[in-house]
Structure 1
């Protein structure tokens, strides 16, 4: 095998693997119920931690850790506004991905209903 083409192939594979790892990190960043709830709330517009915490029903200190994970993964962006920290969705397609997951769950529920109906 030509050493140059082997090196090129390895480089492409390494780049693809890096992309897969980054995608996995983003998926992991939204892989918690509190994070999903916070993300959906913030999808309605920029919000402060206090409002997000109230909306998702958790303590601010706990929520701040979850928000930090999503900021570090590039899902959310944050900015200081006086003493408040404001959060907004940085990657709107992640919200569409959550909508897609809901559609999948609806389809699964419909299939389960059909099975139960067939059972009598």
Structure 2
């Protein structure tokens, strides 16, 4: 095995940035939340649509949406009695596509 001739690795992110990014990945690390994010890739949805599409009860959906909102993955807007959610990070669609392709190649 050869010796590494590289100089020290340099990280351009601050600890705060890396911690925030880790929080996003943690928020995405639950199957129900991933399912909801995938539903939101087609555009904004009312909470009731996310609930019926996931087959989970409303309190579970609200809890998961709160986690996604706290980490900046989704944004919401209240219109009348309904609350609509949308992705705050549309780039997640590319991430999902890339990861699904990687999984399919295994």
Give the TM-score of the pair, scaled to structure 1: 0.75
Matched residue SS, 2:83: strand
Structure 1 gap ranges (5+): 1-12, 109-120
Aligned to 2:3: none
Structure number with larger C-alpha Rg:
1
The CA distance in 1 between the partners of 2:88 and 2:51, in whole Å, is 19
Between structures 1 and 2, the one with greater helix share: 1
Q: Which residue pairs with 1:35 in the alignment?
A: 33
The CA RMSD over aligned residues, in Å, is: 1.8
Taking the TM superposition and a 5 Å limit, the aligned residue runs for 1:51-70 are: 51-70=49-68
Alignment TM-score, normalising by the size of structure 2: 0.84
* 1:77 corresponds to: 75
Partner of 2:94 in structure 1? 96
Instruction: Give the Cα–Cα distance (whole angstroms) in 1 for the partners of residues 35 and 27 of structure 2.
Output: 13
1:48 to 31, 46, 49: 46
Which ranges of 4 or more aligned residues in structure 1 deviate by more than 6 Å?
none
* Equivalent-residue separation in structure 2 for 1:97 and 1:79 (angstroms): 25
Alpha-carbon distance in 2 for matches of 1:67, 1:95: 18
Q: How many residues align?
A: 97
Give deviations 1:54-101, integer Å, cap 9, x for gaps.
111111110111011111111100010111110001111122212221
Q: Structure with the greater relative contact order (CA < 8 A, sep ≥ 6): 1 or 2?
A: 2
Q: Give the distance between the partners of 1:70 and 1:84, measured in 2 at CA.
A: 18
